[in-house]
A and B are shown apart, each in its own frame.
Chain A
Amino acid sequence: MKELALHILDIAENSLRAGASRIDIEIVEDPAEDTVRVAITDDGRGMDEETLKKALDPFFTTKDVRKVGMGLSLLRQAARRTGGDLRVQSRPGEGTAVTAEFVRSHIDRQPLGDMASTITAVLLQNPAIELRYHHAIGADGFTFDTSQVRSVLDGVPLSDPEVLQFIGNLIRERQQLT
């Protein structure tokens, strides 16, 4: 993947497929510690111990169209290339938390990329999702929460193309200020 934002979209696709109604995406960049921590947490169906163990095996998937799953192992490779690592915590019926940590200044650390497009792609797929996105760099940061726009929208779905453009532009603008 060229961007961390594409990995994040891919991990959020797993959350959507697991029936999540809430997804929390957190990116914390710590220049002093030289780390980037990316955490995607959902309240989807979760995994039992055996599935969880296999989930990081690139030759495992519960999909039936293809024999290999790649999303999680790809992200783990990307984190490890920089000297970081990936952690997955999950409980059946409760949800899943995927945390990837990167060494921020490492030459192989992918740029964050277009988070606005990643967020709007998730919202298009499940306009009823409760999504929180937080991005911090040191002491600066911002949070986007679907509840902020939903209270204004009064039943108009978040998947409306103009609403999605609005949200995308909002995140893009905030990202530039961070």
Chain B
Amino acid sequence: MAKLTIEELRRIRDEAKRSRTLREGEGKARITVHMGTCGIASGAREVMNALLGAIDEHGIQDVLVTTSGCAGLCSHEPMATVEYRDTPPVKYAKLTPESIVRVLLEHADKGAIVREHALAIGSEKMS
């Protein structure tokens, strides 16, 4: 683990400033993690954590992460929605720290829906 000093924070700042110019624009995908009470109780925070860790680890620059409240499908939490370029949003259900990383690397980064974990509108399994 890097040392937790002001110097380290300055280094992170300078690096972020440098890479931000490359990052201009909208980004190719957005992942929205649902953070209502049911989501939080069933593991949304850990899913979010894994997602941020993987984005950092893989140096992914053009995937945005946001959050939303409860989506009304409490028994399917933790959930996340992926919007990749102009394709329709896909909801993923019962996510784990492992499956969200797959969703990040395959769908948000490369555009391939991870059907195993996807949930179509109307709660039907895709595939």
Q: Which residues of A contact B (CB under 8 A)?
A: 1, 6, 9-10, 13, 17, 63, 65-66, 69-71, 74, 114, 117-118, 120-121, 124-125, 149, 152-156, 160-166, 169-170, 173
Contacts and interface: CB of A to CB of B under 8 A. Distances in A.
4 closest residue pairs by CB, A with B: A65-B72, A161-B56, A156-B16, A70-B37
Interface in B80-98: none
Given A63-B69, A160-B16, A9 B52 contact: no
Contacts of B125: none
Nearest to A114: B45
A166 B40 contact: no
A121 B36 CA distance: 13
Contacts of A149: 9
Nearest to B57: A161
A154 B8 CA distance: 14
Contacts of A9: 35, 40, 45
A124 B45 CA distance: 11
A33 to B, nearest CB: 29
B35 A13 contact: yes
Q: How large is the interface on B (under 10, 10 to 19, 20 to 34, 35 or more residues)?
A: 35 or more
B70 to A, nearest CB: 6
Given A13-B35, A66-B72, A149-B9, A165 B40 contact: no
Contacts of A156: 12-13, 16-17, 20
A53 B2 CA distance: 48
B37 A71 contact: yes
A166 B9 contact: yes
27 contacts: A9-B35, A9-B45, A13-B36, A65-B70, A65-B71, A69-B37, A70-B37, A117-B46, A117-B48, A120-B52, A121-B45, A121-B48, A121-B67, A124-B48, A124-B52, A125-B66, A152-B13, A153-B9, A154-B17, A156-B16, A156-B17, A161-B52, A163-B9, A163-B16, A165-B56, A166-B2, A169-B4
A116 to B, nearest CB: 9
B46 A13 contact: no
B70 A63 contact: yes
